[in-house]
Copies of this chain bind each other. A is one copy, B any other.
Amino acid sequence: MSRDAQECGVNVVIGLIGSKWKPSILWRLAEGDHRFAELRRGVSGISEKVLAEQLRELERDALVSRTAYEGFPLRVDYALTPLGEELNDLLDPVAQWGDAYLADKALEAPGG
């Protein structure tokens, strides 16, 4: 695959978090550690398969860390890495802009 699209930097970030669920996962994790089931509930309609998938990618990309505990019942915690927090912070103004954009659009097309 490599990078056929320009390496705008933005493309890198989109490659990292540009999937359907990753931003939501990251937001949840920004609040603190979460277990698998918590994320499953917190994120909305995501399936187990996809959540696990996204989590593995996030882990691979060093944005999220996974901690498994030995006891029973099974327990695994997911948390943002420093890198993940960095990105999350960076994305905060973007999120605000996105909200404002949405509000603006709502005004233009109230009948939506």
Contact = CB atoms under 8 A, between A and B. Distances in A.
User: Which label, helix, strand, loop or mixed, suits the secondary structure of the A interface?
Assistant: helix
A37 interface: no
Interface residues of A, number: 36
Interface in A70-112: 83, 86-87, 90-91, 93-99, 101-102
A5 interface: yes
Contact of A5 (B8, B24, B90): B24
23 contacts: A5-B24, A6-B27, A6-B44, A8-B98, A9-B94, A9-B96, A9-B97, A9-B102, A10-B17, A10-B23, A10-B27, A10-B91, A10-B94, A10-B98, A12-B99, A13-B95, A13-B97, A14-B23, A16-B101, A87-B97, A90-B93, A90-B97, A91-B94
Given A13-B95, A94-B94, 12 more contacts: A4-B44, A6-B44, A9-B97, A9-B99, A10-B98, A11-B23, A13-B97, A14-B14, A14-B18, A16-B98, A16-B101, A18-B18
